[in-house]
Chain A
Amino acid sequence: AAGVIQSPRHLIKEKRETATLKCYPIPRHDTVYWYQQGPGQDPQFLISFYEKMQSDKGSIPDRFSAQQFSDYHSELNMSSLELGDSALYFCASSFGQGTYEQYFGPGTRLTVT
């Protein structure tokens, strides 16, 4: 079965640079979620989209923005990167709003130097 696809899998950036992470949900899934996981920590919710509209917002810095496109893929844009942004970034998808069976992608490991 098709899974959530994330690209790139690894990304190295310098401080103050920008980064764009992409997520392709499972086919027919219309909801996308973004999570950040620091070393040894549990995933923390950043933001979600349902049918291309932002549906919930968590602890996402103002330097970050995201959107969901007409084909339901999503992009997380990160600007003015800081050392503390180094983490694993996961995208998850689900079908329908208010469902909690979220299927996670393999993640993007972002390293800011």
Chain B
Amino acid sequence: TQLLEQSPQFLSIQEGENLTVYCNSSSVFSSLQWYRQEPGEGPVLLVTVVTGGEVKKLKRLTFQFGDARKDSSLHITAAQPGDTGLYLCAGEGRGAQKLVFGQGTRLTINP
């Protein structure tokens, strides 16, 4: 079974601080996706990383795919209360279709 492990699972920091969330696996993935989910809502796709070593930026969010395509990170600069939410990494599982999700990182940014 391909597993994705996220760390930390919970993170509470002050507004303006920087943070990094990690998504690790012992398996190689052809791509990894990062989603953000609000309570009671569906996950919203933030980014897909495909190439080993790839870095993508989305405003204050920087996503990196590891060179070996086994891990990814999400770095947020100058976090704001609006960044609060559940961040999920996901990659394709064995088989053609399904996504395998990490456990998620519940991020709280305090004003």
Assess whether B103 is interfacial by the CB under 8 Å rule.
Answer: yes
A56/B98 contact (C-beta < 8 A), A100-B91, A105-B42, A106-B42 known: yes
CA distance A88 to B95 in the complex (A): 24
Name the CB-closest residue of A to B30. A100
Interface residues on A, range: 20 to 34
Encoded as 1 (CB less than 8 Å from any A CB) or 0, chain B from 13 to 38 comes to: 00000000000000000110101000
B31 to chain A, nearest CB (A): 5
Does B80 touch A at the CB level, under 8 Å?
no
Task: State the B residues within 8 Å of A (CB).
Answer: 30-31, 33, 35, 40-45, 48, 88, 90-93, 95-104
Where the two chains meet, the residues of A that have a C-beta atom closer than 8 Å to any C-beta of B are: 4, 31, 33, 35, 41-45, 48, 50, 55-56, 58, 88, 90, 92, 97-98, 100-107, 109
